[in-house]
Structure formats: structure tokens, C-alpha cells
Structure 1
Amino acid sequence: MQRTVSYRGLDIYIELRPTSKDMFEPWLRIDGPNQDARTAAFGTLIKVRGGPYSRRWAYLVAEIAGQTSIDLIPGPEG
């Protein structure tokens, strides 16, 4: 199961991988026009820790993890 969420001009790609009945491990990748080489999440699927989760929680946890990662990306100074 896959979903893409836009946040601050970047896309958070979320992929859920089933582990057992109705339980999933969330993975995320951040895509955008300005990919900073210092940020590992750009273009690479990263497993979100703490799972497995129900489908609803897996999407929520992955979206929050992706948003937090984007918030930590250094922006232009000024």
C-alpha cells in the first residue's frame, strides 16, 4: 500500500509492508526538487521504527516522521 503526502513543497512517499494479518511496517522516502545530499531520506526508502502498526497508525506514524525529517532539513540562511 502506498500513499504520497505533500508537505512544505516536498513529497513524502509512504509504503506499508504487511507483517501479519492487518499489521504493517511503514517505510518513507522524501522527494523534491532540491535534494540535499546531507539528508539521507531523499530518494531512499527508510524504515520507520516502532512497528508493526495497524494500517491507519502506520500511515500516521510515517507521515509524522516524514514531516519531522523535512522540518529538520536546513533551509537557506537569512
Structure 2
Amino acid sequence: MNRVVTYRGFEIHITLSPVAEDMYSVTFQITGHNIGRLSVDGAVVNVRRGPFSQRWAYLIGEIAGQAAIDVILGPDN
């Protein structure tokens, strides 16, 4: 199960993988800008502390992706 969210010029690709009935593990991938020497564009990140229900999994994946972008770019003025 996949979802793509746009945030600050990047795309956050959220992927859910079923681990039990109605429970999912979450990964996210940030694509978009080339960040130069950091080379984080395209890295797949596993979200810890799961599994989650489908609704929570998408929310947590989106928030984690947004937080990662905020760390890379700094505060949005």
C-alpha cells in the first residue's frame, strides 16, 4: 500500500507492509531535490515502534518524512 505526499518541494513516498491482520510496518522515501553532499535523496527509512493500524501508519510515515525534510532544509520561514 503506497501513498505519495508533497512537502516543501519534495515527495514523501510512504509504503505500508502488512505484518498482522490490520497492522502494518511503515517505510518512507524522500525524493525531489538533490541535496548535494548529503546524498539522502532516495534513501528508504524504516519507521520504528510499529506495527501500526493503517490510519496511524500513514500519519506517522508522513510526519516522519516531513520532520526529515525540515532537518535537511531548516525552519520554513
Instruction: Name the TM tier (shorter chain).
Output: 0.7 to 0.9
Point out where structure 2 has 5 or more consecutive residues left out of the alignment.
Answer: none
Asked if the contact 1:39–1:73 (Cα under 8 Å) also holds between the matched residues in 2, the reply is no
- How many angstroms apart in 2 are the aligned matches of 1:25 and 1:54? 9
Q: Residue 44 of structure 2 corresponds to which residue in structure 1?
A: 45
Once the two structures are superposed, residues 30-49 of structure 1 have per-residue CA deviations (whole angstroms, 9 ceiling, x without a partner) of 00032344253x21211001
Q: Percent identity?
A: 47
Q: Residue 35 of structure 2 corresponds to which residue in structure 1?
A: 35
46-55 or 26-35, which moves further after superposition? 26-35
Point out where structure 1 has 5 or more consecutive residues left out of the alignment.
Answer: none
SS of the aligned residue for 1:65 comes to helix
The structure carrying a bigger strand percent of its residues is 2
The structure carrying a bigger helix percent of its residues is 2
Once the two structures are superposed, residues 9-62 of structure 1 have per-residue CA deviations (whole angstroms, 9 ceiling, x without a partner) of 00000000000000000100000032344253x212110011000000000000
Q: Residue 66 of structure 1 corresponds to which residue in structure 2?
A: 65
- How many angstroms apart in 1 are the aligned matches of 2:55 and 2:8? 23
The normalised TM-score by structure 1 is 0.86
Q: Residue 19 of structure 2 corresponds to which residue in structure 1?
A: 19
**CA RMSD in angstroms, aligned pairs only:** 1.5
